Amino acid sequence: GTWTGDSRIEPYGLEQIEVLKGPSSVMYGQIPPGGMVNMISKRPTDELIREIEVQYGSNKHKQLAADFAGAFDPAQTVQYRFTGLIKDGDAVVDHAKDKRYFFAPSLKWNISDKTSLTLLGRYQKSKTALAGGFLPMEGTLTSNPNGHISKRLFTGEPGYDNYDKESMSIGYELEHKLSDKTAFRQNLRYAKSEVDHKSVGTLGFIPGSQRILSRYVYPLEESSKSFTIDNQFTTKFDTGAVKHNVIAGFDYRDGKNDYASGFGFGVGTLDAFNPVYGSAVVTPDYNYHQIQKQKQYGLYAQDEMSYDKWRFTLGARHDWADTTTTDRMTNKTSKQKDSAWSTRAAVGYAFNDDLTAYTAFSTSFQPTIGTTFNGSAFKPSKGRQVEVGLKYQPTRHTLITAALYDMTQSNISVVDPDHIFFSIQQGKIRVKGAELEAKVRINRNLSLDASYTYTNAKISKTTDATLLNTQVPLVSRHQASFGATYDFKEGTLKGLSLNGAVRFTGKHYGAAGDKLQTPGYAVFDAGVGYQWDKWKVQLNASNLFNRRYVSACNQTFWCYY
């Protein structure tokens, strides 16, 4: 969706999360050039699973989850899986609550030794009372004669602020092996979501005050629907000494997004240091209502080749996107057609079984859902990247990687300075960076995990000359993490595990033009667990030393603890 329809995927329903770095449009369609997060839901398995999980935590967090899998018959012809979760709790902010229900049934039918069909369903409902978390700079990032603003401050009105979302999806994965080396796959999914959201937000202190907050009322409704189908052939063959692994296919997506919102000042002010609630709230009529429909078609092919110690990848994709935008306030409709090629080329050399060097070039294309304040549809965002790197894997439990990259992205969406709830597309950015990652098992007890990222993201083309060569907002140049896990494998402490980690985020700017600098911060996490037989108990602590920090300020009146 434009704003909220795609958010809040339940992590308990995921089998694994894959982070693909760099442009991946050739294989995965319309995505940003920085990469994608591929969230793979839990699927039926021939392994018998009987898991029940109970959680209790800070802010009255309570959660009950279950995961069951197995087969209906000894031959494993029909397999099933059911994952479910019920969650209830408060939040760090006063008067905020979060209830969530999640159910995901799935069924796999092994029709024959060559054909299988997997049905996947998901239903999720969230009922939340929340506040936007928008706080002024004075009292959070900088000093205020009245002191620090409490991290528990609720800036809305109890009983009015809500975020209710209902989402579902249903689909299937069909696989048929035409031979030992050739297969056809078809993946289909229909998904929809409904969001009802009313909030009271703040626009900082009223003029002349450093404690009284001005507030606004912002209701919105959003409905999103999408239908996606991907048809794919895979085959392996040899041409002389060159081995090929070819993937080719056609995909189609039909999406509709209906978004309506209002804005008004029908609510009283609030003392940030002595809040008194009970102000009458007047919900404004919608002054923005747009329906956007988009159809996307894509043809793609990729060939992964290997010759001796050399590895080659060549891929190409062509996309077509038709977008129709209707402004329900004026009943005006605009149409836009876009198309583009995405390409990928990579060369790798395996010095031995442990060390591989590679270089890669890729481009991306992403139609952008949404419109400007005046109703103009956004242009597609395009990107390109060059990358070189090394991968070192001496054992199955040790992986060390290093990469350098240079990426550009055009038609970037940024906050509209004249209409804060809207975006504009402005120019191009260039990102140069380096990444180091290490996952190392020192011995059978101790494992280490470390990473460091350097990101130099600059605005390289813009309609505002004052922003040229300034840092991209909300992007830190330096990020790092280090973690360790120690498992006791024997003796009286067998089954005990200890873990700890530190996460560092460097300083960054919250607004274009190198303004509103937010200092860097580091937080520590820790955990202890014990497992015996079929039982496991785990205690986790995030931000162990309770450090108060501001993660970002993207306006002087919108800072976030």
Q: How far apart are CA 493 and CA 84, in angstroms?
A: 33
- Is 80 exceeded by the pLDDT of residue 105? yes
Residue appearing with tokens 């309609």: 463
Greater confidence, 520 or 364? 520
Q: How far apart are CA 9 and CA 189, in angstroms?
A: 16
Q: How far apart are CA 390 and CA 519, in angstroms?
A: 32
> Could you report the per-residue pLDDT of 415-431, keeping only the tens digit for each?
666 666 667 776 788 99
Greater confidence, 414 or 346? 346
> Could you report the per-residue pLDDT of 49-68, keeping only the tens digit for each?
999 999 999 999 999 999 99
pLDDT at 2: 47
In whole numbers, what is the pLDDT of the chain averaged over residues? 90
> Could you report the per-residue pLDDT of 244-288, keeping only the tens digit for each?
999 999 999 999 999 999 999 999 999 999 999 999 999 999 999
| Distance, CA of 328 to chain centre | 30
Q: How far apart are CA 274 and CA 283, in angstroms?
A: 25
State the CB neighbour count (10 A cutoff) for residue 426.
Answer: 18
Return the amino acid letter for 15.
Answer: E
- Is 50 exceeded by the pLDDT of residue 78? yes
Tokens standing for 250?
Answer: 């056609």
- Cβ pair 283, 198 in contact under 8 A: yes
> Could you report the per-residue pLDDT of 428-457, keeping only the tens digit for each?
889 999 999 999 999 999 999 999 999 999
Q: Read off the DSSP letter of residue 512.
A: T
- Banded model confidence at residue 4, pLDDT cuts 50, 70, 90: low
What is the DSSP code string of 432-478? EEEEEEEEEE-SSSEEEEEEEEEEEEEEEE-S-GGGTTPBPTT--SE
- Banded model confidence at residue 376, pLDDT cuts 50, 70, 90: low
pLDDT at 420: 62
- Is 60 exceeded by the pLDDT of residue 396? yes
Q: How far apart are CA 230 and CA 172, in angstroms?
A: 11
Q: How far apart are CA 38 and CA 27, in angstroms?
A: 12
Q: Of 38-42, 187-191, 495-499, 504-508, which gets the smallest average pLDDT?
A: 38-42
- Cβ pair 268, 278 in contact under 8 A: no
pLDDT at 1: 39
pLDDT at 421: 62
Task: Compute the average pLDDT of residues 497-514.
Answer: 91
What is the DSSP code string of 376-403? PBPPPEEEEEEEEEEEEEEETTEEEEEE
Q: Of 183-192, 209-218, 251-260, 365-374, which gets the smallest average pLDDT?
A: 365-374
pLDDT at 416: 67
- Is 50 exceeded by the pLDDT of residue 13? yes
- Banded model confidence at residue 293, pLDDT cuts 50, 70, 90: very high
- Is 90 exceeded by the pLDDT of residue 170? yes
Return the amino acid letter for 488.
Answer: F
Tokens standing for 114?
Answer: 């060559």
State the CB neighbour count (10 A cutoff) for residue 134.
Answer: 20
- Cβ pair 214, 203 in contact under 8 A: yes
CB-side exposure of 123: number of CA atoms within 13 Å?
Answer: 6
Q: Of 4-18, 477-491, 497-511, which gets the smallest average pLDDT?
A: 4-18
Q: How far apart are CA 483 and CA 542, in angstroms?
A: 13
- Is 60 exceeded by the pLDDT of residue 5? no
Helix (H) or strand (E) holding 80: strand 78-90
Task: Compute the average pLDDT of residues 162-173.
Answer: 94
In the chain, the N- to C-terminal Cα span, in Å, equals 26
Helix (H) or strand (E) holding 14: strand 14-21
Give the residue among 200, 202, 306, 295 at the shortest CA–CA distance from 251.
Answer: 295
